[in-house]
A and B are shown apart, each in its own frame.
Chain A
């Protein structure tokens, strides 16, 4: 051993304890590797502390608000209904802290060494971890970069986190905005818009594109429902200027590059692009290949250009979704343990906890028509589903797309109550290369939203029971 530097020997050192990092740590430990997990902030990363979990607490609360009227209809009545955002914040903190404790306990039970500190590469096989005045050196067989990404606001907008907010600060609000201007079209923007609208906030939604990025049927239904909710939508609009005087945010838009529109709002939410967290990691020493956008380039095993160094999650670019990070983390750990593993995001489900929720997997109708000669469409509105009537959430539909030639199902797109839970059926069906009969043959529980999926598949052949013949014939396209 070299005098002067005592390095701890580890099989795996993981930088970043977000979903990608901690899933990888546990999987690696399960496979018999010694693991050190380094985190400079909180276990759970952005997902647990700033992103998925906080936003879904709000989405859930908002969904609950919308059911108040339905409860009244069923005879459950209150004298007075009020919403206290401060109390929701307490609830959010409690949920987060419970989940964090869960992760901590799991790491401990799996004998994972969790280090609070800042990690950086000293060499291709050594990582230094700095914590206050303490400095430790780890010599590793494998390392994983799971440091995530940071939000970068558009240059024209200054995010002060009080009146002008991003995806993290919006869910820290203790008071409801009066008029929230939402600038963006991604899933976060849609969740923000529909959640706050459900709390009674006036919402304006600004899209740069001419439409949302879902399957065309979802785009249409979404637009109808936003209108019904009284969310004002501006399409083809680019934000030129956002003036924030501390009381009011004045947003200037260029609509279709022709006219200028000004919106007076109390608050502005901005969707941001992401930038890989690789500063101060010392990876310039390693000469890892990067993508054009500056993310770390990885293969299907989540390997970087150095085969013993892996990277997972947002730091690798692509869709910034925890589901991807989790899969990559497990695959990387399995690869380290000598298993043949692979991450393939072809059937990565897209979900939006909007009101109503959206869930989608596989090809959209447009993509399917692009790639296949004859495409069949089966679409079933939830108004025809018994359980949707019972729970009073009849908005939305389930749409299934298949290749007319082989009857292979190509994509599933849903909007409405229960669809986020239901989309796993779609994912499995697609992964198993299911054809129409493979989807029609199984029994679907009754009464439930599940039956909507069955009827959508049946509608491919104009055989849906709760759908008028006319509607089914109209749905077949080529």
Chain B
């Protein structure tokens, strides 16, 4: 018999959620055939079959979070023969049914002598204590330890599974803009046994929490707000559309920010406290906050400083799509030097205090563009398209005046997009 385990998928990931099995008990599988799909905090992966054979048993139900090293399923390899394996699988099924019908442990009847002795619970007293402390009935757990023993792991796994929804049960709901780094989506599961609603705190949600906490507890944040007139930019985009060129506002923002960073490289830097220095990054790798059902994720467009507006536009579009489909590779999610978050399309937001994507130095959020009456230089009142931005920066690294100078530089280029031409390489 061959056990298929969740192996180390790199990047320090220690756990994954079982999303979907491509096979079921008794199925014949070929070598390298995908057996199961798992999702880590960052990506989705398929685990292929290490050998040809028959699926004997599946140990971890879909929706559960498991640690690296956990056995997912067992295979009867070909040498033994399919029929025997299928028989064994069938026997296991029967055994499970028997276990389920056994009396529950800890019934008062046990202290008063009863004639029918309950089937033994295969768990050591220590494991039983863990179960008690979490209010788990061990008779409901199928052990994965030696000879079906219930291990500590099994109890923890059951505990997580109990709170984890299966895919079908998931009901998703969009509640908050990503720039505020509130839960971008909330998965709500109603448990039959409990009154309260439970949202699993694991996977990406947990990863987000970890990063946010690390950032906010490390970086003294300072956020300043700016108002930018984007009327000219809108006009330029309309003009381009007439030539069948569609470039998103975000692409212009990214390019303009990159130009500003050339003047103010302090915001494209990393603080190296250990070596008492600030490292200015030459390359502009922009993280773009994307709101997905599973929560916030930040794909990275590399080398903005070398890319055209069109390239930036196309790449941003492609990465966002991948992010929505959980198809991002590790390389596409790492290496950022600066982050933007465009919450304008979500509507409603006029300002925020974004949390910096640690260990970067700054982050800019763009809010909704609205038509507003504006007093022009000549004291006339005109209707202009105005957009607010919020910029958070690491106050250890830079000061408010520099940040204002930075956004001024940026604003000038957005308000007069033609100016950008002067600087494009």
Binding site for B on A (CB under 8 A): 291, 295, 297-300, 316-319, 324, 328, 340-346, 363, 367, 371, 406-408, 431-433, 435
Contact = CB atoms under 8 A, between A and B. Distances in A.
A344 B146 contact: no
26 contacts: A291-B112, A295-B112, A298-B108, A299-B106, A299-B111, A300-B107, A316-B112, A317-B113, A318-B112, A319-B113, A328-B111, A340-B129, A342-B106, A342-B132, A343-B111, A344-B105, A344-B128, A346-B110, A371-B117, A406-B147, A408-B147, A431-B125, A432-B124, A433-B122, A433-B123, A435-B146
Given A318-B111, A344-B110, A406 B148 contact: yes
Contact of B133 (A297, A340, A371, A432): A340
B283 to A, nearest CB: 55
Q: Is the interface of B mostly helix, strand, loop or mixed?
A: loop
A344 B106 contact: yes
How extensive is the interface on chain B, given as a class?
Answer: 20 to 34
B156 to A, nearest CB: 15
Interface string B147-160: 11100000000000
Interface centre among B108, B122, B128, B147 (most CB of A within 10 A): B108
Interface in B112-169: 112-113, 117-120, 122-125, 128-129, 132-133, 135, 146-149
B132 A367 contact: no
A58 B401 CA distance: 94
A433 B148 CA distance: 10
B299 to A, nearest CB: 45
Q: Is the interface of A mostly helix, strand, loop or mixed?
A: loop
Contacts of B105: 300, 344
B190 to A, nearest CB: 26
Interface in B39-90: none
Nearest to A435: B147
A363 B117 CA distance: 10
A345 B110 contact: yes
A340 B118 CA distance: 22
Given A300-B110, A345-B111, 12 more contacts: A297-B112, A298-B111, A299-B111, A300-B107, A300-B108, A300-B111, A319-B113, A340-B133, A340-B135, A344-B105, A371-B119, A406-B148
A333 to B, nearest CB: 16
A433 B127 CA distance: 11
Interface of B: 105-108, 110-113, 117-120, 122-125, 128-129, 132-133, 135, 146-149
Given A406-B147, A431-B125, A435-B147, A341 B110 contact: no
B142 to A, nearest CB: 15
Nearest to B134: A340
A318 B109 CA distance: 10
A288 to B, nearest CB: 12
Contacts of A344: 105-106, 110, 128
Contacts of A435: 146-147
B22 to A, nearest CB: 32
Q: List the 8 closest A-B pairs by CB distance, nearest first.
A: A300-B106, A340-B132, A340-B133, A299-B108, A406-B147, A318-B111, A433-B122, A317-B112
Contacts of A367: 117
A367 B120 CA distance: 13
Contacts of A295: 112
A112 B121 CA distance: 37
Nearest to B147: A406
A433 B111 contact: no
A316 B147 contact: no
Interface centre among B111, B112, B124 (most CB of A within 10 A): B111
A408 B122 CA distance: 10
B113 A342 contact: no
Contacts of B129: 340
Contacts of B106: 299-300, 342, 344
A318 B122 CA distance: 24
B1 to A, nearest CB: 16
Contacts of A408: 122, 147
Nearest to B128: A342
A362 to B, nearest CB: 9
A298 B119 CA distance: 21
A318 B113 contact: yes
B143 to A, nearest CB: 9
Contacts of A298: 108, 111
A285 to B, nearest CB: 22
Nearest to A302: B111
Nearest to A342: B132
A316 B111 CA distance: 8
Nearest to B119: A371
A469 B396 CA distance: 82
A341 B118 CA distance: 20
Contacts of B147: 406-408, 435
B195 to A, nearest CB: 19
Nearest to A410: B120
Nearest to B114: A318
Contacts of B132: 340-342
Nearest to A341: B132
Contacts of B112: 291, 295, 297, 316-318
Contacts of A316: 111-112
Interface centre among A324, A344, A433 (most CB of B within 10 A): A433
Contacts of A407: 147
Given A431-B124, A431-B125, A432-B124, A317 B111 contact: yes
Contacts of A328: 111
A371 B122 CA distance: 15
Nearest to A432: B124
A292 B123 CA distance: 32
A298 B106 CA distance: 11
Nearest to A362: B120
Contacts of B123: 433
A318 B108 CA distance: 11
Contacts of B135: 340
Nearest to A317: B112
Nearest to B148: A406
Contacts of A346: 110, 117-118, 120
A392 to B, nearest CB: 38
A325 to B, nearest CB: 11
A407 B147 CA distance: 9
A342 B110 CA distance: 12
Contacts of B125: 431-432
A371 B123 CA distance: 18
A432 B118 CA distance: 17
Contacts of A345: 110-111
Contacts of B111: 298-300, 316-318, 324, 328, 343, 345
A433 B125 CA distance: 9
Nearest to B130: A340
A431 B129 CA distance: 13
Contacts of B117: 346, 363, 367, 371
